[in-house]
Amino acid sequence: MRHIISLLLENEPGALSRVVGLFSQRNYNIESLTVAPTEDPTLSRLTLTTIGHDETIEQITKNLNKLIEVVKLVNLSEGAHIERELLLIKVKATGAQRAEIKRTTDIFRGQIVDVTSSVYTIQLAGTSEKLDNFIQAIGSTSVLEVVRSGVTGISRGDKALSI
Amino acid sequence: MELLSGAEMVVRFLRDEGVKYIYGYPGGALLHIYDALFKENEVTHILVRHEQSATHMADGYARATGKAGVVLVTSGPGATNAITGIATAYMDSIPMVVLSGQVGSNMIGSDAFQEVDMVGISRPIVKHSFMIKHPSEIPEVLKKAFYLAESGRPGPVVVDIPKDMTNPAEKFEYVYPKKVKLRSYNPAMRGHSGQIRKAAEMMLAAKRPILYAGGGVIMGNGSAQLTELAKMLNLPVTNTLMGLGSFPGSDRQFLGMLGMHGSYTANLAMHHSDVILAVGARFDDRVINGAKRFCPNAKIIHVDIDPASISKMIKADVPIVGPVDSVLTEMVAILKEIGEKPAAEAQANWWKQIEEWRSSQGSLFPYDKGDGSIIKPQTVIETLYEVTRGDAYITSDVGQHQMFAAQYYLYDKPNRWINSGGLGTMGFGLPAAMGVKLNFPDVDVACVTGEGSIQMNIQELSTCLQYDLPVKIVTLNNQALGMVRQWQDMQYSSRYSHSYMESIPDFVKLAEAYGHVGMRITRLADLKPMMEEAFALKDRLVFLDIQVDTSEHVYPMQIRDGSMRDMWLSKTERT
């Protein structure tokens, strides 16, 4: 099963390499990884998605928690949560295609953020699944470039990952 | 408040931390620190002949005392030479602080002379690592390094020190930090009481319980509590290779080591048990054999300071995260409070079964003693046990001799058996013995080794002379890399691919060349008297080159991917 694990990490050089190194060292896989500073300048927020059996995920969270620079950790997939990924996609848009792509973008509630006479660049946020569906709906023949941010997320309700 | 340079702070901190010896080798990046050491009287530096030995010396000291050993190596090759020793300590959870020199901070990343990314290269084999960014942070970072190395599940910590951080011309305020805190590091201080009670009740209700104790009991100072618990419940006890000495090896309740080369009795008792109390052990692949077939009827209670060790290889039914000493103390207290004993009949039946297994073999580790025309390696260890009255510190290298030393020397006390269990590092034994002898000059320290392993760090014979370290080197010389050859015998139709050496040196002359005493023993009749003579030479290093049976194998040997009870018992007989 796919899990979204989110951590608060000491904002120190080398901390990220320890997280990434752990995954290759122990033969775990990372599907996506995002990291950025938080409102507290001493902390970074890192979110990763990984796929594995429950026992593997348990080992992943235990080993991440062992890293000295990991301050706090939550497996978002264990509770109600909001998941978002940002997609920027550049597609060929000429002739009748232009209207069709615009319609599809509207249906998915995306925005066309850049336009040339033959190309649209579309921005779309949502779950990874929604982004997959959008790319499929556009059709592979017209896609020129795909950029995805990787998954980030936050738990629903009162729960918050903070120190 | 004092003003000190970074170099002086390093040295002063070590003194204030109570460090007596550090082990190292100088080089360009460290010259400021070595100059500060020159003026220091309380911290003694031991100059090894290769940085790997510095780490093993520190490691030997740490295993004998539980305190962090301290290593000082220069940048580049000094740092990379230390890697094997750091990995050795990491795999066995040994506290160690490694101070590595680094090129000046303005040169980092420029492929400077003797530059290597030490923090990067050591990352997968350290508990944590630091790079000094400003000289004023040296005391606090070093305090954190010691705290991390020694607390929780111990391990090696690297502190990389760029040369400009130790500049003697720049002075900063120095205060010894008595305590440090890391907000993200809180090792468990005690186990969960509810879980401990559940475990105690399971042990009372068990019909065929067994206590399986590992190196965590030794590093966690839990031997006394473990022994008390075992005595209280009359439990059969088995130890891992790393756990030997955590329960008295000569006690009736001790079934010997378990696992790949464990005793028939211990492996069968494990296989047939209904409750396993695992303490400070990690269900290593060399212990459990095939994970799928492991102890089919056993419920597992697993006590460990490291949550990631629990349910890693084998799922625990009752996990208890906590320091072994406090968890076991609490378990004993709960059992006293409950005030019940295990059912007498079940216990009698279980012990009867165990004694049948033990007596069916004659002893825990039976072997063919032969006609006496040739020295059996097992006999050498039994003789060593007699000659040292079972009271020596024994270090070993890696291979058949290591297994024999684990099987035939009975360790009644913790911290006496010192070997590289996890990484299996040849070349570990001699420097580890030196580290022990330096810190305990009045005790017998013997390094059990082979003619292969000893040559991996034999240059340290020179260090032994310089610092007067009269260890005894007991070499089981079988003219081959015995364990490799054993596998080649068993799995490769005796095709001895590169497992023997055609140019083994004359160890007696070699020992003499280094200024020590060398003795060659070829006849069984000479074994005991010559070994006694060697140990009587209290102030001399003696290199015993003992010519042993070249075809001996280590038994029992578990059959790969089988259950605990599937073993070869001799070259022709299996369970």
Packing angle, helices B223-233 and B324-338, rounded to 10: 30
Nearest-CA distance A150 → chain B (Å): 26
How confident is residue B502, by pLDDT bands cut at 50, 70 and 90?
Answer: confident
* DSSP per position, B123-176: GGG-SEEEE--SGGGHHHHHHHHHHHHHSSS--EEEEEEEGGGG-TT-EEEE--
Catalytic residue among B331, B426, B483, B567: B483
Architecture of the domain delimited by A2-78 = 2-Layer Sandwich (3.30)
Minimum-distance CB partner of A70 among B131, B184, B315 = B184
Q: Is B140 a catalytic residue?
A: no
Q: How does the average pLDDT of chain B come out, rounded?
A: 97
> Average pLDDT in the B81-85 region?
98
Cα–chain-centroid distance for residue A64? 19
Q: Does the active-site annotation cover B219?
A: no
CA–CA dist B269, B272 (Å, integer): 5
Please tell me which residue in B20, B107, B114, B137 is annotated as part of the active site.
Answer: B114
User: What's the pLDDT tens digit per position in B344-401?
Assistant: 999 999 999 999 999 999 999 999 999 999 999 999 999 999 999 999 999 999 999 9
The residue extents of the domains of chain B are 2-174, 193-361, 377-554
Q: What is the pLDDT confidence band of residue B132, given thresholds at 50, 70 and 90?
A: very high
> Residue B184 is nearest to which of A13, A14, A68, comparing CB atoms?
A68
* Fold match, A2-78 / A82-152: yes
> How many CB atoms lie under 10 A from the CB of residue B52?
25
SS3 readout for B393-435: EEEECCCHHHHHHHHHCCCCCCCCEECCCCCCCCCCHHHHHHH
Q: Are B120 and A55 in contact (CB < 8 Å)?
A: no
Contact A7, A73 (CB under 8 A): yes
- Residue B563 CA to residue B288 CA, distance in Å, equals 8
Q: What is the mean pLDDT of residues A48-65?
A: 96
A27 touches chain B (CB under 8 A): no
Arithmetic mean of pLDDT, B225-245 = 98
> Which are the contacts of A62, defined by CB distance < 8 A and separation ≥ 6?
B307, B308
Q: Which CATH number fits domain B193-361: 3.40.50.1220, 3.50.7.10, 1.10.150.20, 3.10.450.50?
A: 3.40.50.1220
The pLDDT of residue A141 is: 78
* pLDDT at B313 (0 to 100): 95
The two three-digit tokens of residue A152, written as one number: 């980030």
B148-170 exposure pattern, b = at least 16 Cβ within 10 A, e = fewer: bbbbbbbbbbbbbbbbbbbeeee
Residue B500's pLDDT band (cuts 50, 70, 90): confident
Q: How is the beta sheet containing B517-521 ordered, strand by strand?
A: B417-418, B393-396, B445-450, B472-477, B542-547, B517-521
How far apart are the C-alpha atoms of B260 and B267, rounded to whole Å? 9
Name the CATH topology of A82-152. Alpha-Beta Plaits (3.30.70)
CA angle B379/B382/B383 to nearest 5° reads 85
> Residue A55: its chain B contacts at CB < 8 A?
311, 315
Q: What is the pLDDT of residue B501?
A: 80
Cβ of B184 within 8 Å of Cβ of A58? The answer is no
For residue A37, what pLDDT is reported? 95
Look at chain A and count its residues. 163
Contact B318, B300 (CB under 8 A): yes
Contact B549, B370 (CB under 8 A): yes
* B483 is known as an active-site residue: yes
With contacts defined as CB-CB under 8 Å, which chain A residues touch B308?
A: 59, 62-63, 65-66
Note the residue count of chain B. Answer: 575
CATH superfamily of B377-554: Thiamin diphosphate (ThDP)-binding fold, Pyr/PP domains (3.40.50.970)
Q: What ipTM does this complex have?
A: 0.93
For B117, which residue in chain A has the nearest alpha carbon?
A14
Two structure tokens written together for B377: 């390696």
Q: Work out the minimum CA distance from A25 to partner chain B, whole angstroms.
A: 7
Percent with pLDDT over 90 in chain B: 99
Neighbours of B232 (CB within 10 A): 15
Tell me if chain B has a CB within 8 Å of the CB of A163: yes
CATH fold of the domain at B2-174: Rossmann fold (3.40.50)
pTM for the structure as a whole: 0.96
- Chain B contacts of A10, Cβ < 8 Å? 184
Burial grade of B348 (CB within 10 A; 0-12, 13-18, 19 or more) = exposed
- Say which of B124, B184, B311 has its CB closest to residue A69: B184
Distance CA B547, CA B533 (A): 17
Is residue B520 very low, low, confident or very high in pLDDT (cuts 50, 70, 90)? Answer: very high
- Map residue B120 onto helix, strand or coil: helix
CB contact under 8 A, A14 and B129: yes
Question: What is the spatial distance between Cα A44 and Cα A39, in angstroms, rounded to a whole number?
Answer: 9
CA-nearest residue to B305 within chain A is A66
Q: Is B51 an annotated catalytic residue?
A: yes
pLDDT at A140 over 80: no
Are the Cβ atoms of A163 and B183 closer than 8 angstroms?
Answer: yes
Task: Give the C-alpha separation, B226 to B119, whole Å.
Answer: 38
43-62 in A: which are within 8 Å (CB) of B?
Answer: 55, 58-59, 62
Domain residue spans in chain A?
Answer: 2-78, 82-152
Same fold, B2-174 and B193-361: yes
